[in-house]
Chain A
Amino acid sequence: MRDLTIDADRLARELGGMLGAAVQRDPASLRAHAVDGLVPQIRCAPKDTDELCAILRVCDASGAAVIPWGGGTAMHWGNPPSRADVVISLEQFNRLVEHDDANLTATVQAGMRVAALQELLGGRHQCLAIDPPDPQHSTIGGTAAANINGPRRMAYGGVRDLVIGMKMVLASGEPIKAGGKVVKNVAGYDMCKLFVGSLGTLGIITEVTFKMTPLPETAGTVVARGSLAQTASLIEALFGSVLTPAAVTVVDGRVAAAAGLQPAEASVAVWAEGFTETVARHVRDVQAMAGQSGMTTEVVHDIGHRRLWETVRDFGAVGAPPVVFRLTVPPADVMPVLAVVCRLSDGGALRYVAHAGTGTVWLAFDTPAPVTAWFPRLAALAQEYHGHAVLAAAPPEVKRTVDVWGPSPQALGLMQELKRQFDPHGTLNPGRFVAGI
């Protein structure tokens, strides 16, 4: 067993000798980088990969626990860390390295803010079709590490589908790369897949190459209001059709109101984008289907469309409610699951955003009380449908009583061995991942 107490003063001196002013120890800054209440002792911001490698070498050798930090927008994810000594901020990794627009790819440093990237890409009529919450603050590396997906996943794929290359630094301080900048590539293992969603426990991502999407000529959303049963029948008709919407999302009345829409028991928002005539066709057909389900519709464009999808995007992450669950179930089971959940909550303090095309259901509660009762119930419900439930956010004292990732996966042994291979000293984000990895 290694001695887990570190000499922070000595470590800070050593890091300071390498990085100078980029090593911070001021209490206010450190408190702002607490993870689930655990305040780190040192914060540093390397300016390049060489510095990052050097920091990791020192931390790994001294037994210091490292918390990689992007925009800090997904720090509520995962179990509370078992230790948190050094926060490594990627804020200086903030450049767009290359946008090869004729290849529809872009290579981006991990600390770049998503909104800043989208602005540069937009100048050349392209975008990254991932919609993480709070794009002004969330970063590319954090989005990849935490596998944060948005409503348009059903049309463009998730983070794992859009990432084609990566650079990372392992706990030992060794820099590696994976994949490349071509959209089709089977040379060697697909290492990017392992790092997407690994929550910084295998290495620190420093650069990501993505597939781009052309900016659509136009976009619009049909919102249909009605009961949960009507919503279910519209969604069934929609998925039985030949339409190819960008997103199909169900929200409750309070979320609808926050998005500037007239509240109802349930509202379905169907996002269509592309050529003008394609969008018009989708709007027309979805309205007709909603009419057949007896629902009232409205069509939103421009500001209304943006406000709606920003509300959906930020749900459960910005101005975080105390407790957020994420259920993932097969797509056709979203409505049955939602019906059960609504019945259980009995008009209580539950709000939801459910992506019917990808099977992702977000549930938010305004008080921490329900976790003990609800988590096992939701986990069982999801499992009944061959899916799973994750406690995405909760106060630290609540999180300490459960494994937020739910029951351990069957392949846990393999995952633990993989962690041992990549981070034998348990330096990176110790305790935050599945079963305390």
Chain B
Amino acid sequence: MNRDKLIRELRAVVGDEYVLVEKEDVIVYEQDGSIMQAMPEIVVLPGSAEEVAAVVRAAKQANVPIVPRGSGTGLAGGAVPAEGGVVISLARMNRILELDLRNRLAVVEPGVINQDVTKAVAADGFFYAPDPSSQAACSIGGNIANNSGGPHTLAYGVTTNHVLGVEVVLDDGRVVWLGGQVPDCAGYDLCGAFVGSEGTVGIVTKAVLHLMRSRESVRTLLAIFDRMDAATQTVVDITAAGIVPAALEMMDRLTIEAVETGAPVGYPRDADAVLLVELEGVREFTERGAREVHEICMHHGARQVRVAQDDAERLRLWKGRKGAFGALGTLAPNYYVQDGVVPRSRLPEIMRQIATISARYHLRIANVFHAGDGNLHPNILFDMRTPGELDKVIAAGEDILRACVAVGGSITGEHGIGLEKKAYIGLLFSDADLNAMAKVRKAFDPDGRFNPAKMFPTPITCAEMRRAPAKIPAGLWI
């Protein structure tokens, strides 16, 4: 490629100040929330769909890869420029373009921060349901690329259930709408296929989001268990009883220890598990639901069930859960988070297996996760400075993923495949299954220009990949 010519073209499109090429400028784009790193060659920050399209055309002309990037909070290396080329940051495209509360719609640019959508409509009694734990920093474009979840997606669904349409820039610079302002648009559900495609088929430049009416009442309970088995069985029984909480979160003994060391909230250190249950709906539903959840917890021998009486207490109950991720730093210098999912009926079994894997590798694993939808987050604690330890951690992580698949689960519930798990996607899908996905990719992006070396189990061909401790902005949680 003629690098200088490309840089000149990009500068002509977006202006000199929005094309970064010096090492000290591009270094902040070498990593996301994962442990993968690769130094970008060129970073461009377009300000409009037209500029994105022109950048894409220039990159195509120069025959270099394109890596879209939102806020860089992804945990699977999806925004790392593994094969070099042009990183397109959508951070400047951060306007909320339209709020249509009558129709419960918001039209936003991809760089809008997730939490800002809810902030813009909360006073009118609405919210945007998908709430990834990084919602104070992550962008809607990144959420769409990764089909992000969050603790409250148990009742309300993940990103794909709340995106009606996306305007995207295709590989040749064409700008098209997939889906629209209503569901069931004529033809294939390309919007549905686009959400979760991890930046491999195009770049979203506008999105139509579905807003929800705020619920009348919220009830939050926290149950403390002496045995993990009893806690996981409680989750199974709440689900089987037909109560669908808005959130159903779990923390294990090691996480409790971290929380009580780092930012104490009064969990008993000798407890084996803490379960956080939140019900939302009309008052009659939450009152009755909370009563039944309480009974199920007691039936399984909960040592104590705390019920929030007001908003302040509710925030207190959540504080430990939200602080858990940050508090893990008090136990070990580094941790590596996995994202496997299992059928909820298999939760007790998988937690036992994770304990076995932990013992086998002599690695401590702290579990803090979305129990209600079976989405695990085992955090493997380690010290990067110990030679060979990271490899051991990755091997233990792989064992956990294999265990999840063996009970009918998946290797990722909300973080995505990216670079991190592309070697494992074959655990779930046959060559024929992956070949069908490749057909979709080919229909959108025949040259494979968008985000190469991600998701599919192909080797990385050029750039030098490195591993380093994850850089997660302070205050974020998972």
Name A residues whose Cβ lies closer than 8 Å to a Cβ of B: 100-105, 125-126, 147, 149, 157-158, 160-161, 170, 174-178, 180-191, 193-194, 196-198, 202, 214-215, 239, 242-244, 274-275, 277-278, 280-282, 328-333, 358-360, 386-388, 390, 405-406, 408-412, 414-415, 417-418, 420-422, 433-434, 437
Contact = CB atoms under 8 A, between A and B. Distances in A.
Contacts of A433: 187
Q: Which of B187, B244, B373, B421 has the most A CB atoms < 10 Å from its CB?
A: B187
12 contacts: A178-B433, A186-B147, A187-B428, A188-B433, A191-B193, A194-B192, A242-B213, A244-B215, A275-B289, A333-B103, A359-B183, A409-B185
A150 B269 CA distance: 50
Given A331-B103, A387-B182, A157 B161 contact: yes
Interface in B390-434: 408-417, 421, 425, 428-430, 432-434
B166 to A, nearest CB: 10
Instruction: Determine which residue in A125, A185, A358 has the highest number of CB atoms from chain B within 10 A of its CB, and name it.
Output: A185
Contacts of A177: 429-430, 433
A358 B184 CA distance: 10
A418 B443 contact: yes
A412 B187 contact: yes
A180 B409 contact: yes
Contacts of B178: 411, 414
B240 A186 contact: no
B182 A214 contact: no
B184 A188 contact: no
Contacts of B103: 330-333
B57 to A, nearest CB: 17
A186 B412 contact: yes
Interface of B: 100, 102-105, 146-147, 149, 153, 157-158, 160-161, 170, 176-178, 180-190, 192-193, 195-197, 213-216, 236, 239-244, 281-285, 287-289, 341-346, 370, 373-375, 408-417, 421, 425, 428-430, 432-437, 439-444, 455
A180 B373 contact: no
B425 A278 contact: no
Please list the 10 inter-chain residue pairs (A to B) with the smallest Cβ-Cβ separation, ordered nearest first.
Answer: A214-B242, A193-B192, A102-B345, A330-B103, A242-B216, A332-B102, A421-B439, A103-B343, A386-B181, A277-B284
Contact of B180 (A176, A282, A386, A406): A386
Contacts of B433: 176-178, 188
Contact of A275 (B180, B288, B345): B288
Nearest to B415: A186
A157 B183 CA distance: 11
Given A278-B288, A418-B190, 9 more contacts: A176-B433, A189-B193, A190-B147, A190-B196, A193-B192, A194-B440, A282-B282, A328-B183, A418-B440
B282 A421 contact: no
A358 B288 CA distance: 28
Nearest to A417: B443
A409 B417 contact: no
Nearest to A190: B196
Contact of A405 (B153, B187, B414): B187
A398 B57 CA distance: 44
A156 B149 CA distance: 18
B343 A100 contact: yes
A21 to B, nearest CB: 30
Contacts of B414: 184, 186
Contacts of A157: 157, 161
A387 B179 CA distance: 10
Given A157-B157, A157-B161, A275-B288, A182 B343 contact: yes
B155 to A, nearest CB: 11
B176 A189 contact: no
Nearest to B281: A244
A160 B157 CA distance: 12
A405 B188 CA distance: 12
Contacts of B442: 421
B193 A194 contact: yes
B73 to A, nearest CB: 15
B149 to A, nearest CB: 6
A386 to B, nearest CB: 4
Nearest to A182: B341
